[in-house]
Amino acid sequence: MKIIYSEKEKLHRPEHEWSYGKLLPYAEKNTRAEIIKKGIIKDGMKNILMEANEYPLDYLKAVINPEMVDFVKSCEELEPKESVFPHVFPYRDFTPEFTEHPRINLKKAGYYCFDVGIEIDKDTFEAAKASTDVALTGAGLIINKQEKIVFSLCRPPGHHAGYSFFGGYCIFNNAAVAAHQLSMHYGPVAILDVDFHHGNGTQDIFYEQPNVLYVSLHGDPSQFYPFFSGFDDEKGEKLGRGTNINIPLPSGIGDYEYRENLKYAVKQIKKFHPQALVISIGFDTFEKDPIGEFKLTTAFYKEIALIAGEVGVPILAVLEGGYDIADLQKNGKSFIMGLKELE
């Protein structure tokens, strides 16, 4: 087993996010991945840590709109105090393709942005790219048959970022970029998303793809972010019909109810016969998380790994959310202990 990290991920550190008309401190702290990494060192497991390699941008552009990737990269030229934090969102039926409307001021209008929970500055690209490299390095170890179990400490997270949009703290979809590589080299891949929120970006990227199954357990979108996506009648389209499974859950559920639903999800994944499993792991399902509204306990994260392990294929776990900074290290460790048992 290996745990992948990159020091560069910390570079992206917005100060604020808008939430229901209030300007709040940015909840997605830049130390999130590092906190889990420090726990590994503290527990004497330094030997399983590995720094990420760098991959060409083509790996991202295989599943992300190349124009959006280039736009985020172009933001490296912003002034030190300048940032892209739009409050205008051009509607897509007016501007279906940016190439046809090249006069749009992308740094002002949130053309690629779907919410006000993200801010891009000159350091964002480097950190977001590093986060994707962390996921790709993990996928590489599995593809080359060097490892069967890998945990990529990605941050910023990725599952809200789609083919042509970013938002919800997510810039590039780390899990999707990695899953695509796995599917190219390995055959069918399943993505199990156990973050509190629905991964609308991951769903978007694979919605018409038959070779990647997306299964997500999340707070019911009629009540929780992202509000418009994650309902159980979203099942995939065209060749991807049937390869998208959403399991919306009510607020307040604990280990017991979650376990039942997770077992159901794993059963559906097994029927798909994937050759590899990507887990989008969010710790915002924790009982003390300031954003998520489930009541999972620390010990349960180990169980999540063990239940997912029943699929019986190589696993790439990718970090998504988890905002209770005080307990993130021990929740991360619990999950890692489960992964270790799968080896």
Largest CA distance in the chain: 56
Instruction: Find tokens 């950190």 and name the residue.
Output: 127
Segment near ligand OKP (CB under 6 A); pick from 70-78, 154-162, 171-179, 268-276 = 154-162
Q: DSSP 3-state helix, strand, coil percentages of the chain (rounded to 5)?
A: 40, 20, 45
Is 160 marked active-site? yes
Closer to ligand OKP by Cβ: residue 107 or 159: 159
Q: Which residues bind Zn ion (CB under 5 A)?
A: 195-197, 282, 284, 321
Among 165, 207, 214, 225, binds ligand OKP (CB under 6 A): 225
Give alpha helix (H) positions in the chain. 32-42, 58-61, 66-74, 124-143, 174-186, 200-206, 255-272, 298-309, 325-342
> Is residue 143 a contact point for ligand OKP (CB under 6 A)?
no
Q: Note whether 170 and 160 are within 8 A (CB).
A: yes
> Is residue 214 a contact point for ligand OKP (CB under 6 A)?
no
Segment near ligand OKP (CB under 6 A); pick from 104-112, 145-153, 156-164, 335-343 = 156-164
CB-CB neighbours of 330 under 10 Å: 16
Q: How far is the CB of 184 from ligand OKP (least distance, A)?
A: 26
Identified catalytic residue from 160, 180, 198, 218: 160
Instruction: Find tokens 């919306």 and name the residue.
Output: 248
Phi, psi at residue 123, to the nearest 5°?
-95, -10
DSSP state letter for 296? B
> Is residue 195 a contact point for ligand OKP (CB under 6 A)?
yes
> Is residue 291 a contact point for ligand OKP (CB under 6 A)?
yes
Q: Note whether 190 and 215 are within 8 A (CB).
A: yes
Tell me which of Zn ion, ligand OKP, none is bound by residue 121, counting a contact when its beta carbon lies within the kind-specific cut-off of 5 to 8 angstroms. Answer: none
Q: How far is the CB of 322 from Zn ion (least distance, A)?
A: 8
Catalytic residue numbers read 160
Q: What is the binding site for ligand OKP (CB under 6 A)? A: 19, 24, 117, 157, 159-160, 168-169, 195, 197, 225, 282, 284, 291, 320-321
